[in-house]
Structure formats: structure tokens, C-alpha cells
Amino acid sequence: MLREILLIADKENFGMKSVANAFRTRGVAVRNVGMSFSALPRPADCPPVIFLFLDEWDVDRRGVMGEIRDLVQNADTLFFVASDGNYFLSDAAKRDLGDRVTGTFSRPFNANEIAERVLRVLDEKISTGEVVIQKPQQKEERAKRILIVDDDPTSLRALRGVLHNAYKVVMVDSAMSALVYLEDRHPDLILLDYEMPAINGPQFLAMLRAREKLKDIPVMFLTGKSDKDTVMTVMDLKPAGYLLKSTPTEQILEKLSDFFLSNE
């Protein structure tokens, strides 16, 4: 029986290599990827175990950590994390990891103990049918990817709740975080808040339009501002649409569906 894990690491070091080798000596196929948006696989391509190895507990990886969390939720895998013990006590851990963590490991790391524990849990889940090694082959339609840029965490959570069943949703809380994400990902649509600190929505859209590889990404404004001056300022930038945050859920989904259908 083939056992495989996806090992995600923010950097390659002795600790990470020791953990990888401990799995390999036990007959486990280890797929190593870095902590970047472009390196992460689709949920359908994930093995039954995802192992996240953080060299430092406070690495600034908010965007990609959210992507990893969403990957774990959508892939329905076991999820183990190794990091500094302080990380697991922080608010950042709750924000980054959600509630799908199967187990955690803190320094000092013992690679053999980590491998034994992970494989013991995996074998238990396989024996009870909770984890399937060989997934049935099926044709998968790629879900449209929407990047939401909004500095309000309440709005981010609400929007994700509305959209996550129909779309692949990525959330960032600033224009700068969005630019980091866009370095190696190309979403099908950006939903952009109007009012944000440092770089607001119109400024961010102008930045996208000035960059050759980003200028064609469609952008819709989703904001609470509906006054005439705001609307005119936004429409001069020729966005793909303008939605009010007060728009009923059904209408938001309908408008997004119409947009994607009209652009196929």
C-alpha cells in the first residue's frame, strides 16, 4: 500500500530534512513543496497527509497560510504541523490553521517519533475507512478562483461563507498582501474593497492596470460606498463591476455567475 505525504516547508534545513528522511526510511513517499502559492497542489492532487514544517513560529506568511488552511479543508486530509511551541499558543495559529489540525509537534523535534506518530494515526484512519489512499479517478472541473482584498476581517469571513461552495476563495487584508499573492498566482477575478489603509481600492486597481502581467485580471469593487462621486471615480477605472456589500447573497452569486458565463 502506497503511503505518501505532502511536506510543506518555509525553508530547507536540517530539521526538515531529518523529518523527510524519517518518513522515507519507513517506506513513505515524500513530496516536498515550498511555502508559496504556486507550489501548492490542487485539493484533488493531495496525498492523505499534509505536514507543515515551520522553521520559525512567527514567519510572515499570512496569505499563503490561509491558502494552506483552505487546501486542508478542501482536500479532506490529515494535517500535522511542526513549529515553535509558542506559535501554537498564539492568536496567529488560530487564524492560520483553523480547526483541521490533526496533531502538532514542538521543538526540540525528534524526527523518528514524528514519523511514527503520523503513520500510526494514518494507519488507524485507513483501517476505519476515514482516509482513502486510492481515490477514484474522476473528471474535475476547475473552480473559478476569486481573490478578495478587504481590510475588514468580518467582511472577509462573510464573503468567504457566501462564495466558498461555488468558488476557490483566497482572502488577503491589504493591497500589499494581494501583490505578494499575485506574484505567482493569477485569479479569475478580484473582489476589491474601496476603502483600505495605505493603498485604497482605486489606487490598487491603478497599480494592476500599470503592470503588464496583471493588467488583464478582472476586478469588481465590493464596497459599502454608493455615493455618486465614489461610483464615478471607480467606473473611470473600468472595473468588471461594482457591488454593494449590502447586496443580498443571492444577487451576489447571480452576478458572479453571470460574469463568468459571459467571459467563457
Residue 28's CATH number: 3.40.50.2300
| Range of the structural domain that residue 54 is part of | 3-127
How far is the first Cα of the chain from the last one, in angstroms, to the nearest whole number? Answer: 42
- CA 13/CA 32 separation, integer angstroms: 12
Q: Report residue 173 as a C-alpha cell.
A: 487584508
- 92 and 160 co-located in one domain: no
Buried b (16+ CB within 10 A) or exposed e, 10-28: beeeebbeebbebbeeeeb
Is residue 209 within 8 A of residue 190, CB to CB? The reply is: no
Q: Inform me whether the pLDDT recorded for 138 exceeds 90.
A: no
| 83-106 average pLDDT score | 78
Query: What are the C-alpha distances in Å from 248 to residues 12, 57, 239, 245?
Result: 47, 40, 21, 8
- 168 and 109 co-located in one domain: no
- 67 and 155 co-located in one domain: no
pLDDT in tens, 213-252: 999 999 998 877 777 777 777 777 788 888 888 888 888 8
Task: Assess if residue 133 is contained within a domain.
Answer: no
Mean of per-residue pLDDT scores for the chain: 82
pLDDT band at 149 (very low <50, low <70, confident <90, very high): very high
Q: What is the pLDDT of residue 137?
A: 44
Is residue 194 within 8 A of residue 152, CB to CB? The reply is: no
Residue owning grid cell 513543496: 33
- 12 and 45 co-located in one domain: yes
- 170 and 122 co-located in one domain: no
Backbone φ and ψ of 6, nearest 5°: -100, 115
Specify the number of domains making up the chain: 2
Q: Inform me whether the pLDDT recorded for 148 exceeds 70.
A: yes
Task: Assess if residue 136 is contained within a domain.
Answer: no
Backbone φ and ψ of 13, nearest 5°: -140, -175
